[in-house]
Every structure is written in C-alpha cells, then in structure tokens.
Amino acid sequence: LFTDFVRRTLDPLLKANLAISSLFSLVAYVIIMFTISWRTTLIALPLIALLHLSAGSLLKRMQLQSCAVAAQHQALSKKVVEILSLLPLVRTSDTQEIERKRFNTISDTETRIEFRLQSLQALIDPLREFLTLILALLLFAFIAYELFVLNEGDIASFMVLGYLAQNAAVKVGMLT
C-alpha cells in the first residue's frame, strides 16, 4: 500500500526525469551528428520526424477505432438489455424479426470495427519496420553520395552518424 502510494507520487518526477534525459541526449546526438556531417544531419532530421509522425498517425487511427468499438459495444449491450427486458412485449407484438435484424446490424458493425482495429494493431510493427527501412535506405543513399561523389568524410564517421540517427529517433519517440 505504501509502495504503491510512493510509486504513484514519484511517477510524475520519473517521467520528467526521463523527458529531460531524453531531451539532453537528443541535443547531444544532434550536435555530434552536425560535427560529423551537417548535410547528412539536415537529411536525417526530417526523416526522423517523418518516421515519428507516421507512427503517431497510425496510433491516432487505432485510438479512434478503439473508441468506435467501445461505442458499438455499449450500443449492443444497451440493445440486449432492452430486448431482454421487453421480451414478452416483443413476442406479443410480433416484432421479433425486426428486433433480431436491429441486433444483428449492431453486432455486425461491432465485429467489423473490431476486425479493423485488430488489423491496424497487426500492422503496427511491420509498418514501423518498413518505414524505418525506407528511411534508413534514404539516409544510406545520401551518405553514399556524400562519400563517393562529394568525397567528404569517411565510412567510420558515417557509421557513427547512422547509429546516432537511430538513437535520436528513439529519443524523439520517448519525448512524445
């Protein structure tokens, strides 16, 4: 009981600590990346932002789908209670078929929304991996251009830059 209270009390401080730590790490990564190659850093930063925004939009769509599932489930539960409470009246007025169709419509809609939500959840990891791969290939192509066409920098420094770009993407995700 006491440890739970302490954990809930310190949770905002721990989150603030994580945010400040991530922010300073991100600033350090960007500074080091700029010292290695300012051109590649100027390419990498928008790519990191694009990766973050695409993942955020996917999560937003999932949140909207979850709300729709909850609303449909609530409507279905309400309809079940209504049908069960009025069952004798429904039987006497010969509206069983109408009520069955309304119930099936709500149930089918809920099932479709749940299927879409599960599909989106199943797409999160492959989509993030695909986007990360595309962005890494774009960064790699620009690094190759800078190394072989412009003859600037060396492979070791660009390997460090790639590692820092990857860590910077993680830190951006932690901040948001």
- 66 contacts 121 by C-beta, under 8 angstroms: no
Give, in degrees to the nearest 5, the angle at Cα 137 between 132 and 138: 100
State the Cα–Cα distance between residues 48 and 158, nearest whole angstrom: 16
What pLDDT is attached to residue 41? Answer: 85
What pLDDT is attached to residue 92? Answer: 66
Q: Is residue 79 within a helix (H) or strand (E), and if so which, with residue range? A: helix 38-85
What pLDDT is attached to residue 78? Answer: 81
What pLDDT is attached to residue 175? Answer: 67
State the Cα–Cα distance between residues 71 and 156, nearest whole angstrom: 54
What pLDDT is attached to residue 1? Answer: 67
What pLDDT is attached to residue 67? Answer: 79
Residues of the chain with pLDDT under 50: none
One-letter amino acid for residue 136 of the chain: A
State the Cα–Cα distance between residues 13 and 173, nearest whole angstrom: 19
State the Cα–Cα distance between residues 57 and 39, nearest whole angstrom: 28
pTM of the model: 0.58
State the Cα–Cα distance between residues 112 and 118, nearest whole angstrom: 10
- 107 contacts 76 by C-beta, under 8 angstroms: yes
